[in-house]
A and B are shown apart, each in its own frame.
Chain A
């Protein structure tokens, strides 16, 4: 058993934190937030130079070979600094899906450019009114001639503005789920850009009888729901790490603010009611970290447990995120609802997290269903499973 980070993991985390501390403070962050595609070119270029655009890829594909823990540590640092670039949807979903599910020629065509930051592919999966990330999609792909015809709509696709192509998830006639690589300038694709709650950029996409060749199908013509489900689950765990970083930052800002703010002749952190609320926030942060660690360690031990691990972590971190965000704003007093300090932005980030990927309440329900369907709740979650006598 190893209960501390490896040297490589510590190195990745400290280099991300160092870069963001220098190049992504709250003022410089505006460059990214105010860009039409939510990306500051010099930032994305730096991500490429540091190798982070290939973090989850094997070294043979030009990546770093990072697993769930490495992605998590990077995302935690991103959450602390409220990075708005679409790293999750472009790298941990788009690039990774091409690397894991793509055919040789797709990988050869796309991966070098994606890792270099010259091109960008994001996943278009979420649909209006479909909460569960693993449930069936309404977008359909019908075989036609030597290709497919895609129809449907995808909602709030993060990072779509300025992307070169999207990976569209669609139900095929056999009932399975397939992924198609579709350029955003293909005839029949409508892109309606929108801002996101946390400052990032997204687009609503419509596909009206979009014709694609057979070669646009990602991978071999088999059901992609297993690989998509697993990588989506891992991405949700990464989002939990990101929230964890934002929660910790909100706690630290609040602790500092309450020590500086003087009312009734003393700093408000000397009041017991304030101290206890800060302590409750600290407990939430510690538990959120444990949720993230347990989720990645479970996935690294058994990749088939990814959906269960994601539901567990999302339920736990989502509830903690809501509490910490609300308390952080409350303890900042009126400053908490102003844009003057970063805390309001942390609140929005944490709200976006809690609402996204099906939402917190849904994750708890899903975890309850998964638990009651099995007898997994009987056994230790940290010690390797072995049936008890």
Chain B
């Protein structure tokens, strides 16, 4: 084993840095740094997506004929790490990382030609319609009906926890097209224009004070059957592929380190204002433990993700990465609150110049969701017990 970069990997890293120097503006970095919720607002992520698109680096994992880069797993790790450490905005993943790969795998040629270019250009902003009030960890129990009517489906029901539905013009959704047989075999994967009559988006106020997620209601919403991906009642395969692809795509360590930098910067900021943070031995020790945790997470992620061949999925071990990434996120955010001490009592949402302090409390509050969404920690533990431990 060794971590030395080959000349080609080193040259690639220099290319990424040069690109970041030329394209990552102060406004974009600031937009990301001030984001306490999961994804930055479109005015931050949009311009960054376009810069990546111009460079040809927006969809590294797609097939090269559709804009993929053909990078090795180590190149992707370098790219994601450099972008995150430089403070680049997170690209909104719903199009490029979630629905895009599903359309590539299961969509018709016509669907590919219609949707993929619009995903890349950012013309379509996507949201995900999976969870329902009665279907969370047990996703297959979803009930939202799609009843065939001529060339359309008529949709009735609701989706919940829909991130950025208030920004999106398109939704990919799992809908129930049959109530016969196994629950998984009556689900279809549908693309829905959010401007269709009968769709209502209601905001959900969340713990950190951000408007991130929504409830979306469907009343007699007419969607062409041509918008279905894959066969009717075969949507569960699309969903499984999407989740698998998502697992094979996530590189979290750079983003987590970027979050830690905010906490470290807070230490500097507080000390500059006369607070003796480093004098608190307990806090110093906790800082050391969180740093050690993150260093090890980074090594674990590199060893697992960096060893993948193109198109290969890490398999069930990705549940360990997901579990640890979500807990790391929470541990760093908690450290941020501990650094703040009594200053955490001050509820301030508005940014004050370059200060990182206002974002720390909302970041901690929002971090609690990380062990809940995308497969709760308990779901991951179940997978790890069965597939890794083998019980």
Main secondary structure of the interface of B (DSSP, over half): helix
Is A388 a contact partner of B388 (Cβ separation < 8 A)?
Answer: no
Q: B5, B261, B292: which contacts A383 (Cβ < 8 A)?
A: B5
Q: A279-B389, A280-B381, A382-B298 are in contact. Are A5 and B1 (CB under 8 A)?
A: yes
Is B320 a contact partner of A286 (Cβ separation < 8 A)?
Answer: yes
Tally A-B pairs: CB < 8 A: 184
The stretch that binds B, out of A101-109, A115-123, A367-375, is A367-375
Q: When chains A and B are docked, how far (Å) is the Cα of A363 from the Cα of B287?
A: 12
Is B278 a contact partner of A372 (Cβ separation < 8 A)?
Answer: yes
Is A368 a contact partner of B287 (Cβ separation < 8 A)?
Answer: yes
Is B288 a contact partner of A366 (Cβ separation < 8 A)?
Answer: yes
Q: Report the minimal beta-carbon distance from A190 to chain B, rounded to whole angstroms.
A: 37
Which residues of the other chain, B, contact A388 by a CB distance below 8 angstroms? Answer: 85-86
Q: When chains A and B are docked, how far (Å) is the Cα of A276 from the Cα of B388?
A: 12
Which residues of the other chain, B, contact A93 by a CB distance below 8 angstroms? Answer: none
Q: A368-B291, A372-B267, A377-B260 are in contact. Are A1 and B388 (CB under 8 A)?
A: no
Q: A283-B384, A367-B292 are in contact. Are A1 and B4 (CB under 8 A)?
A: yes
B343 on interface, CB distance cutoff 8 Å: no
B113 on interface, CB distance cutoff 8 Å: no
The stretch that binds A, out of B130-138, B183-191, B300-308, is B300-308
Which residues of the other chain, A, contact B3 by a CB distance below 8 angstroms? Answer: 1, 297, 301, 382-384
Is B391 a contact partner of A381 (Cβ separation < 8 A)?
Answer: no
Question: A243-264 CB contact bits vs B (8 Å, 1 = yes)?
Answer: 0000000010001001100000
Q: Report the minimal beta-carbon distance from A3 to chain B, rounded to whole angstroms.
A: 5
Is A294 a contact partner of B5 (Cβ separation < 8 A)?
Answer: no
B293 on interface, CB distance cutoff 8 Å: yes
Is B284 a contact partner of A279 (Cβ separation < 8 A)?
Answer: no
Q: When chains A and B are docked, how far (Å) is the Cα of A315 from the Cα of B264?
A: 20
Q: Report the minimal beta-carbon distance from B139 to chain A, rounded to whole angstroms.
A: 19
Which residues of the other chain, B, contact A383 by a CB distance below 8 angstroms? Answer: 3, 5, 13, 78, 81
Closest to A283 in B: B320
Closest to B302 in A: A382
Q: B261, B285, B391: which contacts A259 (Cβ < 8 A)?
A: B391
Q: B81, B288, B296, B381: which contacts A290 (Cβ < 8 A)?
A: B296
Which residues of the other chain, A, contact B307 by a CB distance below 8 angstroms? Answer: 3-4
Is B389 a contact partner of A368 (Cβ separation < 8 A)?
Answer: no
B20 on interface, CB distance cutoff 8 Å: yes
B228 on interface, CB distance cutoff 8 Å: no
Q: B1, B298, B299: which contacts A4 (Cβ < 8 A)?
A: B1
Is A1 a contact partner of B385 (Cβ separation < 8 A)?
Answer: no
Closest to A287 in B: B296
Is A316 a contact partner of B292 (Cβ separation < 8 A)?
Answer: yes
Within 8 A of A (CB), among B301-346: 302-303, 306-307, 317, 320, 323-324
Is A279 a contact partner of B288 (Cβ separation < 8 A)?
Answer: no
A329 on interface, CB distance cutoff 8 Å: no
Is A278 a contact partner of B299 (Cβ separation < 8 A)?
Answer: no
A365 on interface, CB distance cutoff 8 Å: yes
Q: Report the minimal beta-carbon distance from B259 to chain A, rounded to whole angstroms.
A: 11
Which residues of the other chain, A, contact B293 by a CB distance below 8 angstroms? Answer: 287, 316
A312 on interface, CB distance cutoff 8 Å: yes
Within 8 A of B (CB), among A1-31: 1-6, 9
Interface size range on A against B: 35 or more
Is B298 a contact partner of A381 (Cβ separation < 8 A)?
Answer: yes
Within 8 A of B (CB), among A288-346: 289-291, 293-294, 297, 300-301, 311-313, 315-316, 319
Q: When chains A and B are docked, how far (Å) is the Cα of A258 from the Cα of B385?
A: 12
B17 on interface, CB distance cutoff 8 Å: yes
Q: B278, B295, B317: which contacts A312 (Cβ < 8 A)?
A: B295
Q: When chains A and B are docked, how far (Å) is the Cα of A363 from the Cα of B2?
A: 25
Is A293 a contact partner of B1 (Cβ separation < 8 A)?
Answer: yes
Q: Report the minimal beta-carbon distance from B382 to chain A, rounded to whole angstroms.
A: 6
Q: When chains A and B are docked, how far (Å) is the Cα of A369 from the Cα of B285?
A: 8
The residue among B6, B81, B260, B300 with the most chain A CB atoms within 10 A of its own CB is B300
Is B284 a contact partner of A312 (Cβ separation < 8 A)?
Answer: no
Q: When chains A and B are docked, how far (Å) is the Cα of A313 from the Cα of B3?
A: 17
Which residues of the other chain, B, contact A128 by a CB distance below 8 angstroms? Answer: none
Q: Report the minimal beta-carbon distance from A264 to chain B, rounded to whole angstroms.
A: 16
Q: Report the minimal beta-carbon distance from A298 to chain B, rounded to whole angstroms.
A: 8
Is B296 a contact partner of A1 (Cβ separation < 8 A)?
Answer: no
Q: When chains A and B are docked, how far (Å) is the Cα of A224 from the Cα of B253?
A: 38
Question: A60-72 CB contact bits vs B (8 Å, 1 = yes)?
Answer: 0000000001000
Q: When chains A and B are docked, how far (Å) is the Cα of A294 from the Cα of B3?
A: 9
Within 8 A of A (CB), among B233-280: 253-254, 257, 260-261, 264, 267, 278
Is A377 a contact partner of B391 (Cβ separation < 8 A)?
Answer: no
User: Which residues of B are in contact with A by a Cβ distance under 8 Å?
Assistant: 1-6, 9, 13, 17, 20-21, 74, 78, 81, 85-86, 253-254, 257, 260-261, 264, 267, 278, 281, 284-289, 291-293, 295-300, 302-303, 306-307, 317, 320, 323-324, 378, 380-382, 384-386, 388-391
27 CB-based A-B contacts, threshold 8 Å: A1-B4, A3-B74, A251-B389, A255-B391, A259-B391, A272-B382, A276-B381, A279-B389, A281-B389, A282-B384, A286-B300, A287-B296, A289-B300, A291-B292, A294-B295, A301-B4, A316-B292, A365-B281, A365-B284, A368-B285, A368-B291, A369-B288, A370-B288, A372-B287, A380-B85, A381-B295, A382-B299
User: Which residues of A are in contact with B by a Cβ distance under 8 Å?
Assistant: 1-6, 9, 69, 251, 255, 258-259, 269-270, 272, 274-276, 278-283, 286-287, 289-291, 293-294, 297, 300-301, 311-313, 315-316, 319, 361, 363-372, 375, 377-384, 388-389
Sample of 20 more A-B contacts, CB < 8 Å, known A276-B378, A378-B261: A1-B3, A1-B5, A2-B2, A3-B1, A3-B74, A258-B391, A275-B389, A283-B384, A312-B292, A315-B288, A315-B289, A361-B285, A363-B288, A364-B288, A365-B281, A377-B260, A380-B298, A383-B3, A383-B13, A389-B86
